[in-house]
Amino acid sequence: MDLKQYKRIKELNLYVTGLCREINDSTIETFIAVAANAVEQINNEFLEDAKKLSYLPLYLPLTHLYNQLLRVRTYADRKDFSKARVQTIESCEEVIANSNVYLQKMEYKEKGL
């Protein structure tokens, strides 16, 4: 098992899990601020790593989450705040689920299963 790769995916998983909780508890203003910070964090730390893995079930949902956060960050029409929050949480959950699958595959591979 590539321990470095495993740790990065674990970090991604924990980050997105925390992001999902934060978004769930947010107001309009904090949601937009959280989205702006998350866009930078995901772009600077995780997108390139996910791309290097060549594991599309993780890279594509992460890209979708990134794009969703970009839309929220620049959200001018705040009347659809609830819908945007639900969509963002769904995107987070997809990244979390797929990163869990990836981590589990790495663990099984390590154990020879």
User: What pTM value is reported for the model?
Assistant: 0.85
Does the structure show a pLDDT above 80 at 102? yes
Q: Judge contact between 59 and 51, C-beta under 8 A.
A: yes
pLDDT at 83: 83
Percent of the chain with pLDDT over 90: 41
pLDDT in tens, 50-80: 888 878 888 999 999 999 998 887 765 566 7
Alpha-carbon separation of residue 100 from 42, 52, 56, 78, 94 (angstroms): 17, 18, 14, 33, 10
